[in-house]
Amino acid sequence: MKLLNKSTKIRFVILLSTLVIYYITQTTNTKTPSITLSPTPTPDEKIALYESINHVLGTDNKNIPRLTKISYSYPERGDITITWAINQHVFQNSRKTNVQMDAVNILKVLENHKTRFVYVILIGTFSTQDPLANLTEIQAINLGFNKSKLDKINWADFHSSNIYDLADVAKITDEWK
At position 143, the amino acid (one-letter code) is: L
SS3 140: strand
- Contact between 149 and 168 under an 8 Å Cβ cutoff? The reply is yes
- What pLDDT, on a 0 to 100 scale, did the predictor assign at position 39? 39
Each of the 177 residues of the chain gets a pLDDT tens digit; together they read 455 565 565 665 565 555 555 555 555 554 444 444 433 344 588 888 999 999 999 888 777 889 999 988 865 568 999 999 988 766 666 888 889 999 999 999 999 887 788 999 999 998 888 888 888 888 999 999 999 999 999 999 999 999 999 999 999 988 777
SS3 84: strand
DSSP tag of 160: G
pTM: 0.71
Tell me the pairing of strands 119-129 and 79-85: parallel
The domain ranges of the chain are: 45-176
